[in-house]
């Protein structure tokens, strides 16, 4: 079977395990049965940085080099398909508790007749590979200039990227 990639929500109940659920017909389920070695790729806090933003003082903004700031992690895991109804309900309950704890949503058991339509997966993490690109190749003054511009732009992921810049700068 060819590699299969799908976006999905997941939770990390601890540092060794990922839990998620998929529709039973999702090609990932068949792929996992064939080969339980999986790669979970997560990208977040990415935002585009225009080249001119990196120019400070007398530097020519037209000479700036645009980039993207991001956090990316790949988890190499061994997957186990969970098919027992109680296992599926456990994963669903944990996801709801983590993702919408105050929602008042009914316990997933009220939809027990639909459990046959899903599969829960438990991924055991074997290796973590990460890359965090937030201005590590420039000095504090340049990171500060970009942080100021991120705050002014206020885009959907700008605040998170700005926090990464601040952490990198020690404050």
Please, where are the H alpha helices in 100-157? 140-153
Percent of the chain at pLDDT > 90 equals 78
What phi and psi, each to the nearest 5 degrees, are found at residue 38? -130, 160
Structure tokens at 22: 């998929």
Q: How far is it, in rounded angstroms, from Cα 58 to Cα 135?
A: 20
The gap from C-alpha 70 to its chain's centroid, in whole angstroms, comes to: 11
Q: How far is it, in rounded angstroms, from Cα 92 to Cα 14?
A: 16
Q: How far is it, in rounded angstroms, from Cα 11 to Cα 13?
A: 6
Please check the confidence at residue 2 and state whether its pLDDT lies above 70.
Answer: no
| pTM, rounded to two decimals | 0.81
Domains and CATH numbers, the chain: 11-135 (2.30.110.10)
pLDDT for 37-89, tens place per residue? 999 999 989 999 999 998 999 999 999 889 999 999 999 999 999 989 999 99
């Amino acid at each position: 079977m060819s590699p299969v990639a799908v976006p999905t929500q997941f939770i990390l109940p601890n540092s060794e395990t990922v839990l998620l659920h998929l529709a039973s017909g999702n090609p990932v389920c068949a792929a996992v049965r064939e080969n339980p070695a999986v790669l979970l790729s997560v990208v977040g806090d990415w935002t585009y940085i225009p080249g001119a933003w990196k120019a400070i003082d007398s530097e020519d903004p037209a000479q700036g080099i645009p980039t993207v700031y991001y956090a990316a992690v790949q988890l190499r895991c061994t997957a186990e398909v969970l098919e027992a109804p109680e296992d599926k309900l456990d994963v669903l309950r944990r996801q709801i508790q983590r993702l919408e704890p105050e929602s008042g949503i009914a316990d997933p058991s009220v939809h027990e007749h639909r459990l046959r339509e899903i599969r829960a997966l438990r991924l055991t993490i074997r290796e973590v590979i990460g890359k965090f690109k937030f201005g590590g190749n420039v000095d504090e003054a340049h990171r500060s200039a970009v942080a100021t511009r991120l705050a002014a732009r206020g885009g959907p992921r700008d605040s998170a990227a700005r926090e990464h810049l601040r952490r990198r700068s020690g404050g």
